[in-house]
Amino acid sequence: MEAVLSIGTHVIPHPRKVETGGEDAFFVGGDGGGVFAIADGVSGWAEKNVNPALFSREVMANSSTFIKDEEASNDPQILLMKAHAATSSIGSATVIIAMLEKTGTLKIASVGDCGLKVIRKGQVMFSTYPQEHYFDCPYQISSEAIGQTYQDALVCTVNLMEGDMIVSGSDGFFDNIFDQEILAVISESPGIDEAAKALAELARKHSVDVRFDSPYSIEARSRGFDVPWWKKLLGAKLTGGKMDDITVIVAQVKTVAVPDDEGSGVEQEKGGEQVTVAATASAEQNE
Amino acid sequence: MEAVLSIGTHVIPHPRKVETGGEDAFFVGGDGGGVFAIADGVSGWAEKNVNPALFSREVMANSSTFIKDEEASNDPQILLMKAHAATSSIGSATVIIAMLEKTGTLKIASVGDCGLKVIRKGQVMFSTYPQEHYFDCPYQISSEAIGQTYQDALVCTVNLMEGDMIVSGSDGFFDNIFDQEILAVISESPGIDEAAKALAELARKHSVDVRFDSPYSIEARSRGFDVPWWKKLLGAKLTGGKMDDITVIVAQVKTVAVPDDEGSGVEQEKGGEQVTVAATASAEQNE
């Protein structure tokens, strides 16, 4: 038996970036037991008249190319190194890459605040942590020497079982949704595509709700950010979602029978659901 | 260069279990790049006139034996399997085992709600998640068939760098301290032994403070537990630490030069700090 991922995706751009498709990009492929990646272009580059989407999209396009490279195909940190080294755009991005070995081991490399959680038997049993320089300034790979590289990545693995669900996303997703909400949506969704869509839409709803006490607002208050003192006197506190591009990837671990003739080198996947599609996409193509 | 752990430990038993030493046990060894484990005996066994400490101590004693076994020495899940299979005591325990490969990869197997966090450059960059059947009922390996086994373990790895700090503990530690407090204590402590002691003492202080709004209380409230409604009307809410055995292990990653004569098979460790001690201990021996 071999482990493979079924992968669903959904992207909703920042409300003010709908026309350009936002600055998140992602990549999904069927290599090994399945691979996916998300890159979130750092929006500050717009102030320098640089389109922040170019860098994140190029990193994802490069990832889809170098996944065919033998060394990079089973090491997300090497894939990140090669995808970054091959960029020519100006900009920077947070990136997470995850690849499943057919043995069931999920390998992860992450720079910045994209996230990945594993859900087993209705509970979160694994989660990455964001890396940041200070509040709202994540680690990022960059066209500039000052940025981070593959060497700064969080590199970890987690052994998965049949039925495990993976929920991965850009910070625009995790800043606007709580774990308990993710668990509820996953348990209520008939499939991975529906789950990805429902999760993105719930995060989007929270992101534009100024009264929602989001994970982002709670974190901001815990870092000492707040409304002015005179608003505090009136009982106000810093709340609200965080408007941002929202990318969600939902993947489920399935096991499939290995063909008897292992010499063929061809993986036989049974049933439409197990077939993962190779795709590089940003919201521009996706929405 | 090879990665090795310097390991400091501190145990404070439950206030009502000081004479018996409590029901946590731990194991520290210098095998590979360093290994440590914590077992927390499930206290409910006392109601059946079983000493809950016997099982946890036996699991740790077995771990210190089987770490010499070739197969178990580089696979914490196999070590857990063998240590569990060799028990003869009645009881159950949550267990975490972590071992560092000389390449810098930390391998972890965990059943239940012992925890492990990795701190790099002043921030938490990796953390395990507790597994539980329901609130306050963690996954546990057991003398009874109903319990969990090594197959239910969370199995993961994380690549460590020189200077990374590992903070691991029983739930009695993590239920009574926040991440920001752990980071502050780590940054202020001159060494790993002082850090382990200061962390255990801070958690102990919180655990007996009925006004401290602990991680445990916050979690309890989020699960719907609370004070009676008439106390709520008076402005009261469920707060307080959680009295429990507190075990803390603090480990730091160092790199040491590999001797030129690699054929000797002897690891040359330089400086007293890098020498990890082989020890199996419970609070009875430790306090």
The predicted model scores a pTM of 0.90
Q: Distance between CA A56 and CA A93 in Å, rounded?
A: 6
* pLDDT (0 to 100) of residue A258: 85
> B154 — contact with chain A (CB < 8 Å)?
yes
Residues B180, B232, A231, A204: what is their CA dihedral angle, to the nearest 10 degrees? 70
* pLDDT (0 to 100) of residue B239: 83
Per-residue pLDDT of A26-75, as tens digits, reads 999 999 999 999 999 999 999 999 999 999 999 999 999 999 999 999 99
> Are A129 and B129 an interchain contact pair (Cβ–Cβ within 8 Å)?
no
> A156 — contact with chain B (CB < 8 Å)?
yes
> A224 — contact with chain B (CB < 8 Å)?
no
Q: Distance between CA B234 and CA B214 in Å, rounded?
A: 21
pLDDT at position A187 over 50 = yes
> B131 — contact with chain A (CB < 8 Å)?
yes
Per-residue pLDDT of A99-145, as tens digits, reads 999 999 999 999 999 999 999 999 999 999 999 999 889 999 999 99
> A158 — contact with chain B (CB < 8 Å)?
yes
Q: Distance between CA B138 and CA B40 in Å, rounded?
A: 11
> Are A154 and B154 an interchain contact pair (Cβ–Cβ within 8 Å)?
no
Q: Pick from B125, B131, B132: which is nearest to A129 by CB?
A: B125
Task: Cite the DSSP H helix spans in B104-191.
Answer: 171-174, 179-188
Here the ipTM equals 0.88
> Are A129 and B132 an interchain contact pair (Cβ–Cβ within 8 Å)?
no
CB A72 within 8 A of CB A80: no
Contacts of B158 in chain A (CB under 8 A): 154-156
> B238 — contact with chain A (CB < 8 Å)?
no
Q: Using the CB atoms, write b or e for B166-186: b if 16+ within 10 Å.
A: bbbbbbbbbbbbbbeebbebb
Contacts of B110 in chain A (CB under 8 A): none
